[in-house]
Amino acid sequence: MRASTISIATVTAAALAGAIAAGTTIAGPAADSGRPVAGSASAGPARELTDVERSRVEQAEQRLIRQCMAEAGFRYWVLAPLSPEELRAFAHPFVLNDVSWAREHGYGGLIQQKFFTLKKRDPNLAYRNRLSRAERTRYLTALSGGPDTPVRSVRLPAGGSIRSAVGGCEDEARKKLYGDPGTYFHANKIATNLTALYVPKLVRDKRFTTALGVWSDCMRRATGRAYTDPEAVQADLPKRTEGLSGARKQAAEVELAVAESTCARKSALARTLEKLDREYGAPVRKRYSKEISTSARMQWAALAAANRSSSSSN
């Protein structure tokens, strides 16, 4: 239930790598601008898709799945897209530095709670659960593929691999949007999993540790508690809100989020992080510029297809 994670040493590297990979190192007014694409000085897209643009692609994918499932004899509901506020509440950036957002929403806890409450009423889940066992199996095979669905796998630059078996209508929808889902899967998983190659060095940089120390001192003065990093804030948040409900629980969350975002600005932690990410990440992104450019190019092609789909359905 947060819009920020930061930690030190190994934990810092893991949390930071995840946030940077998602393109959400900070939560601020410019957080949805889209990251520049490596090597984009040449012909091609100048940036990655924003959250709103990705949502547009996801909606088009859902409409295509609905059409495909209807052809297979099943109903499928396209749910409303997440609002900009909901997208921000689930962004999980590295550090919250938007004081206005924090003052109004805290870490987005109420927004997330409302989302999960509505998610329980997903008509697709209700419909699937009403089917007989045989029909449910046929439904799932039509939606995602059966036991013989090929498994895509890609080895990550820092080690390990990601595997995915997606067939059926989901794969057909992605073919219509991305052209070649296999190529996109390979390029995108590499492009979004590069941070582990350089974040361990970044978190040992004196500029980062100094800014983090200033942030920690600021938090101690603001809250009266010793937080070495925002990850410690999140570990403490359930304790601070235990036994509280309604307005009092939200007020405690807001108080902590405002302190974090205010200290992030005063310590220049967010600005320092962005600068170091460019410095340490640039050589790595250059090394994998082919995969990054391919992923971005295919995302833009999917967005163009989504826009055409939306226009034709109006």
Distance CA 61, CA 168 (A): 13
The DSSP call for residue 100 is H
| Residue from 3, 16, 20, 18 nearest 204 by CA | 16
Helix axes 269-287, 246-266, angle to 10 degrees: 70
- Per-residue pLDDT at 183: 96
pTM reported for the whole predicted model: 0.80
What SS3 state is found at 184?
helix
Per the CB < 8 A criterion, the answer to whether 296 and 48 are in contact is yes
- Per-residue pLDDT at 5: 34
* Helix, strand, coil percentages, rounded to 5, for the chain: 65, 5, 30
CB-neighbour burial class of residue 234 (10 A; exposed 0-12, middle 13-18, buried 19+): buried
- Per-residue pLDDT at 11: 43
Query: Following DSSP, what letter does each residue of 288-301 receive, concatenated?
Result: THHHHHHHHHHHHH
Q: Can you tell me which residue has the tokens 């297979």?
A: 72
What SS3 state is found at 225?
coil
Q: What is the dihedral of CA 94, 154, 34, 62, to 10 degrees?
A: -110
The DSSP call for residue 78 is P
CB-neighbour burial class of residue 61 (10 A; exposed 0-12, middle 13-18, buried 19+): buried
Distance CA 236, CA 166 (A): 39
Distance CA 3, CA 98 (A): 10
- Per-residue pLDDT at 86: 86
pLDDT in tens, the chain (314 residues): 433 333 344 445 555 665 555 554 544 443 444 555 554 443 345 578 988 899 999 999 999 999 999 999 999 999 988 888 888 888 776 788 899 999 999 989 899 889 888 888 999 999 999 999 999 999 999 999 999 999 999 999 999 999 999 899 999 999 999 999 999 999 999 999 999 999 999 999 999 999 999 999 999 999 999 999 988 888 888 888 888 888 999 999 999 999 999 999 999 998 999 999 999 999 999 999 999 999 999 999 999 999 998 766 65
What SS3 state is found at 42?
coil
Residues 153, 37, 309: CA angle, nearest 5 degrees:
75
